[in-house]
Each structure stands twice: as C-alpha cells, then as structure tokens.
Amino acid sequence: MLRPRVLHAPGPRNEGPAVSRECCGPDDAAPDPVDADAVAEHEEVPPWWRDRSLALPVASGLLWATGLILQWIGLEIPALVVFALGLAAGAWTFVPGTLKRLFTATGRGRLGVGLLMTIAAIGAVALGHIGEAAALAFLFSVAEALEDRAMDRAQQGLRALLSLIPDTARISRLTGEETIPAADVRELDVLVVGAGERVATDGVVTSGRSWVDTSAITGESIPIEVAPGDKILAGSVNGTGTLSIEASADGRDNSLTKIVHLVEQAHANKGERARMADRIARPLVPLVLIAAVLIAAFGFVVGDPSTWIERALVVLVAASPCALAIAVPVTVISAIGSASKLGVVIKSGAAFEELGTIRRVAFDKTGTLTRNEPRVVATHISNDHTEAEVLDLAAALEATSTHPLAQAISAATPTRLEAVEVQELPGHGLSGTVEGRRVRVGSPRWITPHGLTTQAAELADQGMSIIVVEVDDQIGGIIGIRDELRPEATEAIAALHDQGISTVMLTGDNARTAEAIAAQAGIDEIHAEQLPEHKAERIRASTAQVPTVMIGDGINDAPALASATVGVAMGVSGSAAAVESADVAFTGTDLRLIPDALAHAKKGRGIMTANVVLALAIIVVLFPLALFGVLGLAAVVLVHEVAEVVVILNGVRTARSKRRIYPSDARDGSTPSSTAPVKASDY
C-alpha cells in the first residue's frame, strides 16, 4: 500500500505524530520530511486514470470480472487462473503491509480489517474458493487506494500556502538596498516593501503609510491602514505606499510557515482516527484467530484432526467480512455520488462517516457567510448635499484606485465625473479636484466627520467601514460600506438549528463587524480577530467536546479546516489551500448545502450502520453453525453471497437524495438550483 508524503514547512518545528493511511494503525515511523524547495518540486497527484496507485486495484477488478465470465461459460481452468491473478493483484496492495505490521507493530497496531481480510482470503483459497478470495481482495484494495489518494491530494494545499512567501526580499543595509532570498531574512532586518509587493516575513512598520491586504492571512476582506508601529504579517500585500518593516521573525519561521505546520500536524492527527471497519475488526480479529486455533487443536485432542482442521477453515470463511467489506464501501460510494449531484464533493469514506455525526458547525465570515464583495450600505449627508452628489464626487476620485472600498463606491453610482490633480496619501485617502471643487475622500482618522460623528459611530457599530467625503473644506457626507451577508445564510443557520446543530463564527475581522453579521444570521457564538492559529485552537477545543465541521474558503482557514472533525471548503471561490485542506468541498456557494449535506450524511450513516449490523449478525449466526458442522462450506458461501446482495441493495438507497425546499424557494416558485457538474479528476 502506498504511503502518503508528509510535507514540512521550513524552519524549526515540533514533530507531529506519524501519519497513517494504513488500515491497521499508525506506522512505526513517519516518512522523511521534505523542505520548502522539495515542496515546490512535489509531483502533483495525477488524474485517476493516470494514477499508478490505482493500477493494481483496477487490474484486480477486471481480472475478477473476467473470471466470472469464464466460469459462467464453463471454462473452469482458465477461470481459476484468472481468479488467481486477480487475487494476487489485489492482495499485493495490502497483504505485505499487513504482514509487516503483524511482526513489527505493537499492541492494537497489529490488528485491523486488513489482517482479517488476509485471513479470510487464505481460508477461502485453502478450501478451493479462489473466486471468493479474489472478490475480497479487489473490494478492499479499491477502498484503500482511494483513501490513500485522498490523503495525497490533501498534501498539495501546502504548496499554495508557501507560494504566498515571495522568492526574494529587499533589505536595507548601511551600504544601500540588497535583494536576498526570502528564506535568508533574519529577525531585526529592515525590509523595504514597495507598492503591490508581498511581505516576506512578520514585522513592525518603521516608516511609511499604506493600505495592506491581509485577506490571505486573517480573512479580513477590506485592507487595513498601517503606519509606523503597526504589526504586519508575512504574505500580506502592500497597497500604494512604500513601507520599511523591521522583521520580527526569520524568513523560515513566520506566520505563514506556522500555518503550513498547523495544517500538516492536523492531517497527521486525523490520519490516526480509525474508520468504522477498523474499529469493528480490531476486537474481531483476535477472537476469530483464537477460535480457529482452538478448533484445530481440539481435532488433535479427539483424534480427528482432518475433520476439525477443515471445520476451522470453514469457521474462518464463516467469520470472513465479506458483507462487512462491502457494507461500508457500497454505502459510501453511493452516498458520495449522490452528494456530488447536490454540489457537495466528499473526498473520502472516512470524511463521509464523520459528516453524519456532526453536532456543531463553525463558519468563517468573509467569503463564506458573506459575499466577499464590499458594498455601499448607507450614506449620510450634510444639509448642503445630496446622496447622489456625495457618491458621484467620491467615485470620481476613486475611479483609478483598486482598493475594495473604491470599487464598492464606484459600483454604487452610474455617474462618471472626471477628477483632476488626484493625489493619494498612502494610509489616508485621496484628494483632487472635481468640476472645480476641492474634494477629499478618506478614513475618519484623516478627515474628522464634523456634524456626522453620531451617524459614523452608529455605522461603525453595525460593522461598516466609514468613508468621509469632504467638499471645499466642508463635510459633504459619510459612506458606510460592508461585506453583506449572503441572502440564504439566515435560512441555512435556521435549518441547522432545527437539526439540533449549534453554530459558531470564527473570523479575522473586528468584533463590531463580526457581531453585526452574526446577529443578522442568527449565529449562536462569535470569536472575532482570530489569526489562523487561533482558529485552529478553537476548532481543536470544539472537536474535543462534540463532532465539529469548519466551513471556510481562504488560506487563513486551512489549519482550522484540517483540524476539524470534517473541514468543508467553499469550492468555487475558495483558495487552493482551503479546498485541498478540507475533507469536503462545495462546487457552489449556497450555504443551504450545509444542512442538506449533513442530513444526507446522517441518513447514509444510518444505512451504513444497519449494513454493518447485518454483516456482523451473519458472522454471529454462521459461526456456531460452521463450528458444529451444521453448515458446510457451500452453505456458508451461499449465505454470504445472499447477505452481500442484501447489503448492496440497502447501500444503494443512499443514492436517492434531493435538496430541501426552503421558504425563499417556495415564495418565488423556484426549485433548488442545480450546481455545476463535478469532474471525477478534480478530487
């Protein structure tokens, strides 16, 4: 079985636990770490049709199907040969690893469904049922290969995180400016960051003023004003001014590399969680082995070893997890396929199992609960001006700016006045002349909104960013801009509460904005001004109490997504790091997918549990009947085949799913909108 590649951020770190995608417990040692340069050269996970790790499972399935055809037309010897080849192809993906762990691992790490499948296959071969053994090997090898593929794809998100660090940085020396590799930046170096450049490491502004886009780190949609003394994070994008920044962290050990390590560590921890089949197999394996040995030994005691050895082998087949091997994969595959039609891409069976247990949903704000499109929400004017005039004058100055607030103002008015002599004061705002009038547009810290201070405070309390417009040295008005709540968010939150699921918001935005959005949406709990590591800590604390989903779309959400019981990324607008760190991705942005997906997973988990109970019941019933010779091998195999058919029919019921009709759908007479089709190669 393939072992996933574990990527480490450069610089000092605490080693996390070993990652395991094996079926039977953690590995003895983690794979060798890879540095940042190796990350950049890391080969991408290929599409499934070119993935070599799927070659043996696919070959095993094709050979098994060919053997069934040959057997059906009466060619027994060729069928036997093809079955044997199929068995060898499938078994090669898990038997060597299972045997290695059996002799090298300790405690329960030796046990698992892989060992039980190996024993069942050996027992079936010993009794001449090679076709049955080939079927078991095929089913199990496919399930394991898909799990390994999901983990390998998760590692790709780390490259997206590290890509935010620029290759080089300009350092101010006594002899002048010098360009060096970003990794060579040391604490107390003074960085010179020009307009539009990324900051190479964490630091404190020593000179200059500007607006800085920190959305990749904090998730805050609106750039923040920075001045001497303000802290700034690695990966932030500078606006129009030039900044001098004293580094407070080395280039290899900053907030971005910390995010990489958090994601890596969370994936390692998640890799140790046993799946349902493993939890069942661990106590079952030793019981079956002990029973088989005792039965064979009893034959020697009573002087009839051949009869009791054969019964021991029949018991092994009776206790083989044929239906159990199918119970979970069939249900999961059907449910995942059905979910994709709803616009929900579930990347692994383990994620689907966990999704059905969720009791709390944590949301990022920007781009998840909100549109990530700041808009003009309110305008207050002085007595001598109109709203249209204030917006037109502000838009004239903002026409050439790429600042999100400028774009919001421009979008709020169709009129396009021409401004001349426009000057930008980094970190403050703009000034210029529009139709002969002197106009200034900027923050309340630059232009005091005399006469409108009460209104400005009220807008700020509602979570808005304030722009003050001054005309001919007099206050013309104030403009309130906010990233608005998605229209379906309130319905989605209400639907979650109806299911008994609590909600929490984690955001890098300020407390005022967070409280305003949470009040609109009906969210239970709020945590504002959270850095990525803070979000991850809160998610870990939450998952320790109840199964928790984290939903986000930005690079800053990646550690929290990876730390949650299940991480969900908003796939259309989400960053590559968020999508790859998550266990589930949405192909659309309709938040009502969340309660629908959780309800679908809960239903699927119920069907899966019923299948597992049936599979175990078959083993419990067949075991004594095989032990006392009531049923021979043929009867045992027949019962297993019937059970498999029942399990399959029950499992495919999860393929039936549909979107819930919400009040807003009923009002406008529409049905839930379909989402874009999902390509199989995407995940």
Residues acting as catalytic residues: 364
CA separation, residue 611 to residues 29, 116, 319, 326 (Å): 35, 18, 16, 9
Hey, which bits of 261-369 come out as E strands? Answer: 344-346, 360-364
DSSP string, 90-109: HHTTTHHHHHHHHHH--GGG
All residues at 6 or more sequence positions from 142 whose CB lies less than 8 Å from its CB, including other chains: 57, 58, 60, 61, 329
- Name the CA radius of gyration of the chain, rounded: 31
The Cα–Cα gap between 626 and 635 comes to 9
CA separation, residue 149 to residues 21, 263, 335, 372 (Å): 10, 18, 19, 32
The Cα–Cα gap between 109 and 350 comes to 18
Which residues pair with residue 293 across a beta bridge? none
The Cα–Cα gap between 447 and 437 comes to 17
Q: Which element (helix H / strand E) includes 38?
A: helix 36-41
Using CA atoms of 182, 197, 202, 228 in order, give the dihedral in degrees to the nearest 10.
130
For 305, the token pair is 């070893």
Beta strand 548-552 pairing with 566-570 = parallel
The Cα–Cα gap between 509 and 531 comes to 10
The Cα–Cα gap between 372 and 72 comes to 60
DSSP string, 373-438: EEEEEEEEE-TT--HHHHHHHHHHHHTT---HHHHHHHHT------EEEEEEETTTEEEEEETTEE
The Cα–Cα gap between 535 and 561 comes to 9
CA separation, residue 352 to residues 92, 547, 598 (Å): 27, 13, 9
φ, ψ of residue 64 to 5 degrees: the values are -65, -45
Residue 420 CB neighbours (<10 A) = 10
